[in-house]
Chains A and B, each alone.
Chain A
Amino acid sequence: MSIQLLFDALALGGIYAIAALGIALIFGVMKLVNFAHGQFIACAVFALIIPSTDAVAVMGLGRLPALILIPAVLAVGALLALAAEALVFRPLRNASPVALMVGSFALGVALQNLLLVLYGGRPKAVSLWADLGAPIALGPAQVPLLQLIVIVAVGAILLALALMLKHTRIGLEMRAAAEDFGMARLLGVRANRVISGAFALSGALAAVVALVLVAQTGVADVRMGGQIMLVAFIATVVGGMGSLAGAVAAGLALGAASALLQAGLPPEARPFRDAFLYALVIFVLLFRPQGLFASAGAKPRV
């Protein structure tokens, strides 16, 4: 029971952390709360299937072997985010954070309805890597193989991202820009390069979430990014807006809280799990409005 719970918490928290990173990266460099992130996830999911409004999904990209499929879907996510930046957010570069946020909400609605037009409104069954659902015995617990893969993959992604931010030129520029964009530009840091980099990374992270969601649920649904985006938002607020490390920590914590609620709540209350989670978070913020993981004056730190 307890090992099972630990793996549930890690896998769920890992996915939340990846989604929260996707939000926090963009917020860091351009103070945009990206309400289209959930639709980036949904678009990456639907990139697997051939556009049609038929009830049965026909795999397109999704038929390829994983070694090609994964980079291809990541590229789709990254390109979509880059296109969104160029078409919507670059013209809004000097707008207020509120206008940026509202603009991203509109973009999300446009993308969601574009998917509706192309694929129809009904959720479709998608079978991606179905054999990963098989459980493996780990001591007394049965853990699905997929869960193990997710945990390992999330760990690897977080490590790679931390190394990139710490040791590459673009990583240094992103961290500098997140702290003081104007100053970074005065030192010759190219705004477009940093912002495009952040969007591309964020889009690729959305694609990671998409792959995991499809593999876990076996469904492609136009609305599937929404819930996870909301949890990711909450993670960025709880983590202290703009702090990447805070977003990851808060994502993991929310995953753990979710898993605990799922296990601890009486069965008839389980459908309300997310409602309890949101209420819990609002309650926590009452006492620490600046977020759990940021001291009042703290700056973003990786």
Chain B
Amino acid sequence: MITQHQIRRRMAATTPLLLSLLILAFVVAAVTLGDRATARMASETLIRVTLVVGFWIFAGNSGVISFGHAAFACVGAYVSAWTTLNPMMKGTLLPGLPAALAELHWPVLPAAITGGLVAAALALVSGAAILRLSGIAASIASFAFLAMINTIWANWTPVTGGTSSVVGLARYITPWVALGWAVSAIVIASVYAASASGLALRATREDEVAAAASGIDQYRHRLLAYTVSAFFCGVGGALMGHFIGVINPDGFYLDLTFLMLAMLVVGGIGSLSGAVVGVLAVSLAVEALVRLEKGITLGATTFALPPGSQEILIAIAMILVLVFRPTGLMAGREIMLPARWVVGRGTSQDRPETDRR
């Protein structure tokens, strides 16, 4: 005999599988049907899945909006640059780098993982301060943290190159590499969400007082989620760097923060599926708008949006979502298999195909 609880658990376990299949289908479609530009768009989108799913691990489970996650991407990208760049190049570009770092010439995978780990360590330290604050004040402090990292990176020229870009990162990101990281992020995110800590954190999101009364240590769970979350944002940052080949502190500042936030809001912050769907929806919209900004020719006339209208339209879309569908496209639901599929034939009654997280 299978209990309702077991059915629900099995159904929940299908979510990461289905989401992974969804982005796999996205990659396959982009690679087989599109040109090189489409394949690049697919890689970029999946890097964003890694970033936004990482972001969701904290923001989605805790209900606290962080403005600081772009800083973790920044750190991840620079750590990967410091460890993988040709030592000769580092000597000229980043003369202030400590000797131990300057000599390194690592392969890309350990560099990306290290980027994530350094970001996570930074999250552990900064989160210990920021997460003691209440929700809104924590959001503001995370914004201060972002500005602090940006100020340091833009001015610490001998080590970071300052506002001039660091160039020459190995461009190894294919859609498949990005897919691998996106799938890992999705799996870890759903493992965390189903863990005792994830459950406890979502309880604090629903009702802070009741959760505290039942003995939940909100701060500890927030800090854990923040740290795990920062790991994937760090990795996502490293992937971004190696995707373009050039990094700059302003590439990891307000524009990226806005994009990540817009994706989460549009998809719906209440569920992991919302985060993934939001990335896909906003990325496709961005791609369409970018092409419009370049101009499309209709007969004799070329029609082009002025540069900057992309952000304006996405911002307006975001406000419209907040007003008319505040729970986002997915409305807090997860994509999962229906109950009769996970239980087997003839043993179950019909259950809804989506479930609230």
> Residues of A at under 8 Å CB distance from B?
31, 33, 88, 91-92, 95, 97-99, 101-103, 105-107, 109-110, 112-114, 116-117, 226-227, 230, 233-234, 236-237, 241, 271-272, 274-275, 278-279, 281-283, 285-286, 289
B25 within 8 A of A: no
Flag if B141 contacts A110 (CB, 8 Å).
no
Which of chain A's residues have a CB closer than 8 A to the CB of B288? none
Chain A residues within an 8 Å CB radius of B134: 289
B142-173 CB mask vs A (1 if < 8 Å, else 0) is: 01110110011001100000000000000000
Most buried by B among A102, A233, A272: A102
Q: Determine if B351 is an interface residue (Cβ-Cβ < 8 Å).
A: no
With contacts A274-B151, A283-B129 taken as known, whether A241 is within 8 angstroms of B254 at the C-beta atoms is no
- A284–B261 CA distance with the chains assembled, in angstroms: 28
Which residue of the partner chain, among A114, A241, A274, contacts B148 with CB atoms under 8 Å? A274
Contact (Cβ within 8 A) B152 A275: yes
A-B contact pairs, 9 of them (CB 8 A): A106-B322, A117-B307, A117-B308, A117-B309, A234-B144, A272-B152, A278-B148, A282-B144, A289-B132
Are B306 and A117 in touch, CB under 8 angstroms? yes
Q: Is the CB of A285 within 8 A of B141?
A: yes
Indicate whether A286 sits within 8 Å of B63 (C-beta atoms), given known contacts A97-B136, A105-B258.
Answer: no
What CA separation (Å) do A226 and B151 show in the bound complex?
A: 13
With A106-B318, A113-B309 known to touch, is A233 a contact of B148 (CB < 8 Å)? no
Pick the contact of B322: A33, A92, A233, A279 (CB < 8 A).
A92
Measured between beta carbons, the chain B residues less than 8 angstroms from A233 are 140, 143-144
Contact yes or no, B133 A285, CB < 8 A: yes
> In this complex, what residue of B is CB-closest to A222?
B308
Considering the chains assembled together, what is the distance between the CA atoms of A113 and B318 in angstroms? 15
Q: A98-B136, A117-B306 are in contact. Are A107 and B315 (CB under 8 A)?
A: yes
The one of A33, A112, A116 in contact with B136, judged by C-beta atoms closer than 8 angstroms, is: A33
Partner of A272, one of B151, B311, B316, B319: B151
Q: What 7 new A-B contacts, CB under 8 Å, besides A103-B319, A110-B319, A271-B155?
A: A88-B319, A117-B308, A117-B312, A234-B144, A237-B140, A285-B133, A289-B134
Q: A282-B130, A286-B129, A289-B134 are in contact. Are A110 and B65 (CB under 8 A)?
A: no
Q: How far is the CA of A120 from the CA of B326 in the complex (A)?
A: 33
A-B contacts, CB under 8 A, total: 129
Task: For residue A84, give the distance in angstroms from its CB to the closest CB of chain B.
Answer: 11
Is residue B224 contacting chain A, with contact meaning CB distance below 8 A? no
Give the interface SS of chain A, mostly helix, strand, loop or mixed: helix
Contact of A230 among B132, B133, B136, B144 (CB under 8 A): B144
| Known contacts A92-B322, A99-B326; A110/B312 CB under 8 A | yes
Chain B minimum-CB-distance residue to A114: B312
Chain B 111-149 residues near chain A, CB threshold 8 A: 126, 129-130, 132-137, 139-141, 143-145, 147-148
Q: Is the CB of A241 within 8 A of B319?
A: no
| Chain B residues, CB < 8 A from A91 | 323
Structural contact, A102 and B133, CB atoms closer than 8 A = no
Q: Are B141 and A282 in contact (CB under 8 A)?
A: yes
Q: Per-residue 0/1 for B298-325: is the Cβ within 8 Å of any A Cβ (1 yes, 0 no)?
A: 0000000011111110111011001100
* Contacting pair A285 B136 (CB below 8 A): no
For the complex, is B262 an interface residue (Cβ under 8 Å from A)? yes
Whether, in the assembled complex, B265 has its beta carbon less than 8 Å from a beta carbon of chain A, the answer is yes
Task: Determine how close the nearest CB of chain A comes to the CB of B51; give it in whole angstroms.
Answer: 17
Q: Tell me the minimal C-beta distance from A229 to chain B in angstroms.
A: 9
Contact B143 A289 (CB under 8 A): no
Query: Across the interface, which residues of B come within 8 angstroms of A275, CB to CB?
Result: 148, 151-152, 155
Q: In the complex the two chains form, what is the Cα distance from A113 to B315 in whole Å?
A: 10
Query: Which residue of chain A lies nearest to B139 when distances are taken between CB atoms in the complex?
Result: A101
Of B132, B141, B315, the most chain A CB neighbours within 10 A belong to B315
When the two chains form their complex, are residues B322 and A102 in contact, meaning their CB atoms are under 8 A apart?
yes
Q: Bound complex: CA of A109 vs CA of B315, how far in Å?
A: 7
10 nearest CB pairs, A to B: A110-B315, A271-B155, A113-B308, A116-B308, A278-B148, A113-B311, A106-B315, A275-B151, A106-B318, A278-B144
- Given A98-B65, A98-B135, A237-B140, do A106 and B147 touch, yes or no (CB 8 Å)? no
Task: Report chain A residues within 8 Å CB of B152.
Answer: 272, 275
A110, B136: Cβ atoms under 8 Å?
Answer: no
Q: Which residue of B lies closest to A271 (CB)?
A: B155
Q: In the complex, A92→B324 CA distance in Å?
A: 9
Q: Which residues of B lie under 8 Å from residue A31 when comparing CB positions?
A: 136
> Chain B: which residue is nearest A291 at the CB level?
B137
Name the B residues within 8 Å of A278 (CB-CB).
144-145, 147-148, 151
A107 to B315, CA, bound (A): 7
Q: In the complex, what's the smallest C-beta–C-beta distance from A143 to chain B, in angstroms? A: 28
Specify which chain B residues have a CB less than 8 angstroms from the CB of A285 in the assembled complex.
Answer: 129, 132-133, 137, 141
In the complex formed, the residue of A with least CB distance to B59 is: A98
- Shortest CB-to-CB span from A54 to chain B, Å, is 15
A26 to B: closest C-beta gap in Å: 13
Instruction: Give Cα A241 to B138, complex, Å.
Output: 12
Say whether B147 contacts A282, CB under 8 Å.
no
Q: Which residue of chain A lies nearest to B250 when distances are taken between CB atoms in the complex? A: A223
